[in-house]
Every structure is written in structure tokens, then in C-alpha cells.
Chain A
Amino acid sequence: MSPVFPMLTVLTMFYYMCLRRRAMTATRGEMMNSHRTIVSNSRTSPLNAEVVQYAKEVVDFSSHYGSENSMSYTMWNLAGVPNVFPSSGDFTQTAVFRTYGTWWDQCPSASLPFKRTPPNFQSQDYVELTFEQQVYPTAVHVLETYHPGAVIRILACSANPYSPSPPAEVRWETLWSERPTKVNASQARQFKPCIKQINFPTNLIRLEINSSLLDYYTELDAVVLHGMKDKPLLSLKTSLIDMNDLDDDDYEDKDGCGMDSLNKKFNSAALREGPNNGYFDKLPYELIQLILNHLTLPDLCRLAQTCKLLNQHCCDPLQYIHLNLQPYWAKVNDTSLEFLQTRCTLVQWLNLSWTGNRGFISVAGFSRFLKGCGSELVRLELSCSHFLNETCLEVISEMCPNLQDLNLSSCDKLPPQAFNHIAKLCSLKRLILYRTKVEIEDYDMIASMIGAKCKKLRTLDLWRCKNITENGIAELASGCPLLEELDLGWCPTLQSSTGCFTKLARQLPNLQKLFLTANRSVCDTDIEELASNCTRLRQLDILGKDAMYKFLLNSIS
């Protein structure tokens, strides 16, 4: 009897300690709620709990693979708890972007890059997610389920999209960024980059993507935000200067030092007459211009403040023939546009994609800029510019008579009637309306109009055009013999039995790219016709390995 009691006591104590330890750590079988609080058992104050959240909502993105009304492969799958992770593979419940690899850069319609794009800006797509609670982020995990490695930058915003009053200041801070790197496995992984600490709470996270090194579509399942509700105690980390900051420190000067203040400075100072710029005075004007061509935009603006000669060079409108403001989307606002306006009177290529959201650019500011600088405009990129409305399109059509290239992809806030203004642009050679609300009921009619009026058409993208039939294809094939590129992916109403693909093959000998993605009716005859008639074909998307082998065999023989 007596030895039992101490043994019992020891056992009970042991059991109690084990139970306590189990209760502290989370178990694997725990159900994943969208939101849970873990009390950290470190020595920090028990009130400073770490909050773990899945995304509440996807509020903005640049592209996705799925159809707008679908649940399959669309960006909205990124919100909420993961559907698929940790399984690997192709699943419809994941978020997938529109492109991968370099296919689209190698096709005939690939557009040339803007000059002066900073080498550290490689983002091709983005997605913005909101979370329920604002926290000081300690970690951002991305659950990738197929071909990981596309995320190259993570940013946090100071604005709370759910607060009823508009924020006083909207700031974007880069939490992490890296050059695109190839990940050799295609298996699922939980991506846990080391993010830097910031001094404001956030519930709006943005991921930027580069898919150029991927072998196939990347698929994302969920994003997890770890953070503290209260500002963490100052750690040594925050006092270190982050080298990345210097790169990201885009021209605050641009907003601050306007031309007026500079002019005042130069007038008031007692400057000696005559040039005193050393060797710069001996160099011909064009050579200095050539040197300045290599500077990025922020550096150009900073250089303008150094001396009168360089100011003259840097403000020369010839430096601003190409103006790419997309890398600076987080900072470009009405004031920036106003500041640049005097220098950009000769601008021909203007990239305002991704800019101006959350109140940064107003319709008035944009209109004013175009009125000053639009007359020579040839190419205008306005992808994901959600500040655009009908008035803006009207201004574009009035102020840019020479416009040849207009990109309005993902401008889904534009009402359908706004597109009528584009009709006034008579020199248009390239028009992108991906994911816009332009109203098209009958694609066959569109195709027959294109066949009738656009005889010199080279590229046509009809991806996911739900109701185009063999009639439309016939009109296209006969009306546009110069077609080099045709995307008919996910057009379920196209049936090979009608002979439409054979017609395409016979009447479009210049085809270099043909996408018949997911069309299950393509048959052997079509493949043989394509192989024998379209000798320039370099990109072909058809379903099934067998079909591809047949094509290759037929092309060789």
C-alpha cells in the first residue's frame, strides 16, 4: 500500500505536466478557422497576442485564368482557408494567373518594353487581399499548390479598406522582395519569406508576381497573415538601415520640389554669369542627353536639382518620350502628374498601368495631364487603372488623335457606354479590352465585322468568347488573310465537325500562333491541315500529347 501513494503522486504530476504541454502547442488535426489567436508563450506581455488570419476578400488583381462568373481557377479562390493545400497538382479551386513563361513575350503581338524601366521592377501581375483585423505583420505565408516560386514582392498598405471614413494618408510599404528565381520542384509548398517590420498596422496585403521562369501555371491556394495587434517593442532590427529601402525610396522629391521652388532658388541666389560646369560644358548637348538616357526616372528628377545645366537637360522633353510610371504605382499621384506635365509635352509612350488607385489620381488630374501631354501620344497603357471613368475615355479620344495602342485590361469599373469614345480614335492599331465590361452579345457579328473592316488584322485574341461559332470563324478566315496570331482558347461552341478549323488552316497561311486551348473536338484532319498549310506556326495549344505528336510528325513530313 505505501509505495503506491508516492508513485501515484509522481504519475499524476507527470500526467498533468504532459497535458499542459499538449494544451500549449497546436495539434495538427485542428480545424482551420479563418481567424484564430495564439497566445504566445514567450516572455512578452500576455496581452500582445499573435493573430493568424486567412484573407477575407480579394479586392483587386490584374488577371486570372478562369472566367469571370466561375469558381474555377479564378483569383477569388485566394481568399479564405485553403481548399487544396497541401496537395499538389492542378485543381480548379485555386487561384491562377492568366499567363506563364515567356510564350506571350515571344508571340507576334508582344509589345516592346518601355525605356527607362528600372531593372528591379519585374512584376507582371498582382493581387490585393484584405484581412479582417489590422495587425503589425510578423509573417506572410503563401500556400502555393503547383509550380511555386512566382511571388517576387509583398507589400502592405496603411489604409483600412473597411473603415467608413477615407484614410488621411495611404502608404505602401514593401515587406519583402526578391528577383525572380527558378524553383525546380512543381510540388506544393508553404512560402515563408522573411519580412521586415513596419511601423503601421495593416489589413491590406499585395502580392506581386513574375511568372516568366515557370514551366507551367502557378497555382495559389491561400495567404496567411501573422501579426501583432499592438505595436511590438522596438527591436534592434528596425534601427538597421535596410539596403532595399534605398532602392524603393522612389522620388519623394518629385512631389516636394516643384519647378516653382527651384526657379525661386536659382533666381534669388547670386549666380555667376557664364557656365561653370567643368567638362560638362565641353560635351555636346546630344551626348549629355545620351548619358541621361540611362538614368531611371527618380534619378533624373534628383539630377535636375543639382545645377542649372543639368536641370535644363533633365527637363528636356526629349528625355520623356517614353514615360513609364508603372514601377512607381505606389507613389504616383495628381501632384506627380502635375509636376511632370511641363516636361512631358512630347511623350509618345505613356504607361500608367496599376497607378492611381485609392484616390491617388483623380479624373481631373488625369484629364489635365492628357490635355497638356496627349497630342503626341501613340501608346497608352492603362491596365488596372481603376480611377478611369467615361470622362477619361472621352478626354483620351479628344486629346490623343494619334493614338495607335490602347490597353484597358482589367478596367472593370468602366461602364459599357464609355467604350463608344474609342470609336473616335481612327489610328488605333492595337486595342486590349481584357476583363472590361464592354458589352458583346454576339461574337459572330463582331467576327464578321472584323472580317469586313479589318483586312490588315494581324492579331486577334478571342479567348473565352463564349458564343463564337463556325460562322464567325469563317468570316474571319476569309476576311483577314494576314492573321498571324489567333487565340480561340476555351471557346466551347467551336466544333471541329463543322470544318471551321480546317478552313482556318487553309485560309490563314501566315499563322504563327494558334491557341485552341481546351477544345476537345480538334481531330486528326485539323492537325494534318495545320501542319501542311501553316508552315510558320511556332506556338500551338491543342489538347492532348497525342495530338501534339501527330502535328510534329506531320510537319516534318
Chain B
Amino acid sequence: MFSVLSYGRLVARAVLGGLSQTDPRAGGGGGGGGGDYGLVTAGCGFGKDFRKGLLKKGACYGDDACFVARHRASVLSLGVADGVGGWRDYGVDPSQFSGTLMRTCERLVKEGRFVPSNPIGILTTSYCELLQNKEPLLGSSTACIVVLDRSSHRLHTANLGDSGFLVVRGGEVVHRSDEQQHYFNTPFQLSIAPPEAEGVVLSDSPDAADSTSFDVQLGDIILTATDGLFDNMPDYMILQELKKLKNSNYESIQQTARSIAEQAHELAYDPNYMSPFAQFACDNGLNVRGGKPDDITVLLSIVAEYTD
């Protein structure tokens, strides 16, 4: 009886949870030792509102969006964007801005209109392209872009706002992004406001993004996610899940990404759990407990040999 219930819960969760998978097999070309690196990437996510529908145009979870793209065989790139939900009160769909931003970044990467060592350039160009729409595109979002230069084994990143990435090596976090916030729960964000609200709406320039570059090694795990993950799951829990990652198969990465996202999703709705978000709020004088219901997007990548 109990097992039937738990099984039913599992099925229900899978059906209602807005599960979506991306399958950007990041391999290609002839392989050999000591050569180019590749990324095997899997994504998973949950929109905050179940009723919004299960699959929304591929790479969107609620108001979040993400992309994975490659340019020829030399560069891989991925990114996440978190649409600011407050726009909904003004009749603007927040997922449009983040979705279009990520799709434009994807196009830019595919067509090679960027410099690998300058991921802020991708953000800037993408933002400029968004301004080219004849129908004004309104909204705002954070953004985090990660670019892997295959031959030089360097990872270049750009982060604007409170989404971010972690690089895990040997069970420890070796690189991470910094959150950019103006004040509590108000991250740096790219935005396009309606004309009458132009001075009033918070709008950060893409140049305000943090940029870092560092070398990566085979076996490094790169986790790129929106604040829905980091606000609900502290590092040690994420690392615990990542320990279960056995190999660089796409299936196992997919499995791990899903378990991380699921766990974060569960914790988000736990009213008694002391989430990192609650902890931060308490530190700032707000007496709260519990998780933070939010859209969750997780992109999990492993640096592997470039094979195909």
C-alpha cells in the first residue's frame, strides 16, 4: 500500500513537475588524447507554477531560460537567465525577456559573432539585438554565461545578477561566481522598460557583469544555475549530490541534474527548513524560515575528452 502511494507520488511528481530535458551532445569530430576538451551537458528545471504547462518551448522553466550552443568545433557555451517576476504585475510576461535573451545568445554563439575570452561581449551584443525588435520587448532578467575554449582549456564566464556557476574539482568547490545585488532580493539585471518608466526601472548595463577566466581540468564539474537552486540548497548538499556522479555519461549527468533540481524543488516548499535564503534574511534582520519557492534551472556539465 505504502509503496503504491510513494510510486504514485513519484509518477505524479514526474508528470506535474514540468520536467524538461535538453540534449546538447557536446561532442564532435575526431578525438585523441591530450587534445581539445569537450563538455557533456544536461539540464533540468522546474517552473514555480505547475499550472503553466509542462514543456515551454524547450529551454524555459517558468520565467527562467537557458541555452547550450557550440560554434564549429572550437567553442562551447551555455548560459542561464532568470526573468524578474515583478513584471507580471504590469502585464508583461517575464519569460519573454529571459527566453529571447538566451535564444539570442545561442544564435550569436552558433554564428560565431563573439570572442571566446570576452563573454561579457556576448551579453552586450545579445542585449543590443534585443533592442532591435520592432515590437519593444519589455522585461528584465539576470544572466550567467559560461564559455569553454576547447583548445586552450580555459573557461571564461560572465555573471550579472544572482544566478551563477560553481566549478567542482575533487569534491570541492574551486571556483564560483559572486552574487550581484543592489539590495535584498534585488539582483543586478538587464532590462528594457516602457518609455514612461525609463528612469524608474532598475536597469544595469551588461558591462556591470563580473567576468572571470580560469583553466579547467578533465573531470571538472561545472554547475550553472539560477538562484532558485542556490537559495534553497547550500553547497554541501549540492556537493553530496555531485559525489554520486559516477562517470561522464550523458545519462548519469542527466540523472544527477534531475536529482539536484528535484531536491531543491522539495526544499523550496518545506516551511521549516533553514534554507540559505532564510539564513541570509535572518542575517539582515528578517525573521523567516523555510525554502524559497522560485523557478529552478540547473545546467550540469562535465569537462571530458573531446570525442565523437
Contacts and interface: CB of A to CB of B under 8 A. Distances in A.
Contact of A92 (B133, B136, B195): B133
Contacts of B107: 71, 93
B198 interface: yes
B108 interface: yes
Given A70-B128, A72-B132, A92-B129, 10 more contacts: A67-B132, A71-B104, A71-B113, A72-B133, A90-B135, A520-B194, A520-B198, A521-B198, A543-B136, A543-B195
Nearest to A72: B132
Given A520-B195, A521-B195, A521-B198, A73 B136 contact: no
Contacts of B132: 66-67, 70, 72-73, 92
A70 B133 CA distance: 11
A241 B111 CA distance: 45
B167 to A, nearest CB: 31
Interface in B131-173: 131-136
A523 B129 CA distance: 24
Interface in A64-83: 66-67, 70-73
B131 A492 contact: yes
B135 A70 contact: no
25 contacts: A70-B129, A70-B132, A71-B104, A71-B108, A71-B111, A71-B113, A71-B129, A72-B129, A72-B132, A72-B133, A90-B134, A90-B135, A92-B129, A92-B132, A92-B133, A92-B134, A518-B134, A520-B136, A520-B195, A520-B198, A521-B198, A522-B195, A523-B195, A543-B136, A543-B195
Majority DSSP secondary structure for residues of B touching A: loop
A198 B288 CA distance: 77
A93 B129 CA distance: 10
Contacts of A71: 104, 107-108, 111, 113, 129
B: contact size bracket: 10 to 19
A543 B195 CA distance: 10
Interface string A465-495: 0000000000000000000000000001000
Nearest to B136: A520
A543 B136 CA distance: 9
Contacts of B134: 73, 90, 92, 518
Interface string B176-201: 00000000000000000011001000
Contacts of A67: 132
Nearest to A492: B131
A405 to B, nearest CB: 31
Contacts of B131: 492
A121 to B, nearest CB: 31
Contacts of B195: 520-523, 543
Contacts of B104: 71
Contacts of B136: 520, 543
Select the residue from B104, B111, B134, B136 with max chain A CB neighbours within 10 A: B134
B99 to A, nearest CB: 13
Interface string B104-142: 100110010100000000000000110111111000000
Contacts of A492: 131
Task: Please give me the 6 A-B residue pairs with the lowest Cβ-Cβ distance, nearest first.
Answer: A72-B132, A520-B195, A72-B129, A521-B195, A90-B134, A92-B133
A543 B137 CA distance: 13
A54 to B, nearest CB: 15
Contacts of B113: 71
Query: Which of A73, A492, A518, A521: most chain B Cβ within 10 A?
Result: A518
Contacts of A523: 195
A71 B132 CA distance: 9
A150 B131 CA distance: 27
Nearest to A65: B134
A72 B128 CA distance: 10
Contacts of B129: 70-72, 92
Nearest to A490: B132
A516 to B, nearest CB: 12
Contacts of A72: 129, 132-133
B49 to A, nearest CB: 25
Contacts of B111: 71
Interface string A504-523: 00000000000000101111
A510 B253 CA distance: 68
In this complex, the member of A70, A73, A92 whose beta carbon has the largest number of chain B beta carbons within 10 angstroms is A92
A518 B132 CA distance: 9
Contacts of A520: 136, 194-195, 198
A356 to B, nearest CB: 31
Q: Which of A71, A492, A521 has the most CB of B within 10 A?
A: A71
B253 to A, nearest CB: 23
Contacts of B135: 90
Interface string B183-224: 000000000001100100000000000000000000000000
B56 to A, nearest CB: 16
A79 B111 CA distance: 12
A555 to B, nearest CB: 22
Nearest to A517: B134
A363 B133 CA distance: 41
Interface in A133-178: none
Contacts of A518: 134
Nearest to B131: A492
B192 to A, nearest CB: 9
- Most interface-central of B104, B111, B132 (chain A CB within 10 A): B132
Contacts of A90: 134-135
A71 B195 CA distance: 24
A494 B84 CA distance: 28
Nearest to B195: A520
A523 B195 CA distance: 9
Interface string A47-72: 00000000000000000001100111
A504 B237 CA distance: 62
A521 B199 CA distance: 11
A346 B186 CA distance: 72
Contacts of A73: 132, 134
Contacts of B198: 520-521
Nearest to A93: B107
Contacts of A543: 136, 195
A67 B113 CA distance: 15
A523 B104 CA distance: 30
A473 to B, nearest CB: 18
Contacts of B194: 520
A73 B104 CA distance: 13
Contacts of A522: 195
A176 to B, nearest CB: 30
A331 to B, nearest CB: 36
A72 B133 CA distance: 8
A550 B18 CA distance: 45
Contacts of A70: 128-129, 132
A68 to B, nearest CB: 12
Interface in A501-557: 518, 520-523, 543
Nearest to B126: A71
